[in-house]
Structure 1
Amino acid sequence: MVYGEAYACPCIRSHPLDPYFVAQSHGNYIAIFSSNPPFKLDKYKRYESHGVSGFPIKCNFSLDGEKLVSGSSEGSIYFYNSISTELVQKIKAYEQACIDVVFHPTVPNVLASCSWSGDVSVFG
C-alpha cells in the first residue's frame, strides 16, 4: 500500500523531470510521493488551499516542472510553485467546479481548463 489514508485520489501526475509524483486527494490537498520504490509519501510537504469537495479535480505540471496547477470545487485555478508547494496565484475561472487544467504542450504560458458544466477556457 502506497497511500494509507481514507481519501480517494482522482488524479495522479508524474513530475516531468524529478523523481516524484503527486496525487490529488479528496482531502483537499495534493500529496507528494517518491517515484522510486518504496514510493514514500512526503509527510512534510503538500499542496494545499484548494477545495475538491468530491469532484474529480485534476492537476498538472508545467512542461519545465516549475509549476503545478489544479482546478477546484469553487471554480478557481490554483498555481503552485512545484518545489516549495507555495500557492503563487489563484484565478476565478468558473461559477461551477473547475475539474481539469492543463498547460499547452509546446507554448509554456498557455493554459486550458474546463468546468463541471462543460465550459472550456484558454488562458495565455
Structure 2
Amino acid sequence: MVHCWTGHTKAVTAMEWFPGTAHLLLTSSMDSQIKLWDVYRRRGCLRTFVGHTRGVKDISFRSDGLFFLSEGHDRWIKQWDTVTGQCTARWQTKRITNMVRYHPNNPHQFFAACDDGAVHQMDVRTGQTVQSYDQHQAAVNTITFIDEGRRFVTTSSDKAVRLWEMDIPVVIKYVADPAMHSIPAMATRPGGSALIGQSLDNQIVVFQAGKDRFRMNRKKAFKGHLVAGYACVPGFAPDGRYVVSGDSEGQIWFWDWAQGRHLKTLRAHDGVVSKVLWHPHEASHLASCSWDGTIKYWA
C-alpha cells in the first residue's frame, strides 16, 4: 500500500479520477461530504465540498474536470465548481436517484437514473428535463454510455438490461433471461468493446458492445468473490487485460480478461469495498474505497 486517506467518517460510496491527468481523486461518503484528494504530492485533502444534508450516493466529473455532479439521500442533485468549491446549480428530485452522469460529449446535459424506473436527461442551464427513458419496471441502477456517447445502456432492479439511442425514448435492445440477476454496477472495457456488470449472484457478467450489436456473452464470467447484495463497482486495467473488483469481505480480486482465470486476491479493507479504480497512466497503481471510511492507494 502506498497511502491511506482517512478524512471521511462514514462509508465511502463513490470515487473518480480527475479526467485526463488523474492527479486528483474525488470521493463521496455517507457522512454527507465530498472530498478532493492530492494523489501525487503531499496526498492531503485539497478541498471538502459541503452542501448535502444526508449521505452522498454518487459523483460524476464533467469531461473537462471543471465541474462535477453529486446526488444524495437528501434527494438533491448538485453541480459543483471543482476549483472554487461552490455549488453552481442544484435540482430537487421527487424520486431517489441512484446515479448521475454527464453526457460525454455535451457538457450541458446530464442523466439521472431514478428509482421510478426512468432515466431523466436534464439540461444544466435550464434545469428542465429534455427527455425521459422510462421502460424499466423497477429502479434504474446504472447508466453506461457506449459508441462515443451515441447510445447508452441501463441496468435495473427489474433484472433487465436495456440499450437506448440518444434522444429517442424507445428501447433498441432488451436483454433479459429468467436466470439473470440484478446488476447494480457496471464498467466499460478500455476501447469500448465490452461492458462488465456486477451481478448479484456473485459473478461479473460480460456484454459485447460493437457498433451495431449489443449482446450478453454467456460463455464468459468472472467468479469466486462474494458481493452479498452490495454494489461493488468493478474495473479494468488501462490496457484491458485484467479485471478487478472489490467484495463484501474487504478484499480486492484480480482476473485475467482473456481466460477468465482468477489471478490473486488482496486483503484491503475492514468493510465492503465499494469501488476499485486502476490508475489510467500508472499501470501498477490502483485506488480502492470502502465502507470502512478509508480510501487506499496501492502499487
Question: 1:101 aligns to what?
Answer: 276
Question: 2:231 aligns to what?
Answer: 56
Which residue identity lines up with residue 13 of structure 1 in the other structure? Answer: A
Which residue identity lines up with residue 246 of structure 2 in the other structure? Answer: G
Cα offsets for 1:51-87 (capped at 9, x unmatched): 1111110101110011110000111000010111100
Which residue identity lines up with residue 11 of structure 1 in the other structure? Answer: A
Q: 1:31 aligns with which of 168, 183, 205?
A: 205
Q: 2:186 aligns with which of 12, 16, 38?
A: 12
Calculate the TM-score normalised by the size of structure 1.
0.92
Question: 1:2 aligns to what?
Answer: 175
Q: Tell me the secondary structure at the aligned position of residue 214 of structure 2.
A: coil
The CA deviation at 1:25 is: 0.7
Q: Tell me the secondary structure at the aligned position of residue 96 of structure 1.
A: coil
1 or 2 for the larger relative contact order (CA 8 Å, sep ≥6)?
1
The CA deviation at 1:6 is: 4.7
Q: 2:267 aligns with which of 92, 95, 113?
A: 92
Unpaired runs of 5+ residues, structure 2, are: 1-173
Worse overlay, 91-100 or 64-73: 91-100
Unpaired runs of 5+ residues, structure 1, are: none
The CA deviation at 1:17 is: 2.9
Which residue identity lines up with residue 81 of structure 1 in the other structure? Answer: D
Which structure has the bigger radius of gyration? 2
Q: Tell me the secondary structure at the aligned position of residue 270 of structure 2.
A: coil
Calculate the TM-score normalised by the size of structure 2.
0.40
Alpha carbons 2:270, 2:292 under 8 Å: kept: no
Q: Tell me the secondary structure at the aligned position of residue 175 of structure 2.
A: coil
Closer/same/farther in 2, CA of residues 64 and 6 from structure 1, 3 Å limit: closer
Cα offsets for 1:101-123 (capped at 9, x unmatched): 01112111001001112211111
Which residue identity lines up with residue 188 of structure 2 in the other structure? Answer: S
Question: 2:256 aligns to what?
Answer: 81
Aligned equivalents of 1:51, 1:81: Cα separation in 2: 18
Closer/same/farther in 2, CA of residues 82 and 6 from structure 1, 3 Å limit: closer
Which residue identity lines up with residue 78 of structure 1 in the other structure? Answer: W
The CA deviation at 1:18 is: 6.0
The CA deviation at 1:91 is: 0.5
Closer/same/farther in 2, CA of residues 92 and 3 from structure 1, 3 Å limit: farther
Worse overlay, 108-117 or 6-15: 6-15
Q: Tell me the secondary structure at the aligned position of residue 266 of structure 2.
A: strand
Worse overlay, 35-44 or 62-71: 35-44
The structure that is strand-richer by fraction is: 2
Alpha carbons 2:202, 2:227 under 8 Å: kept: yes
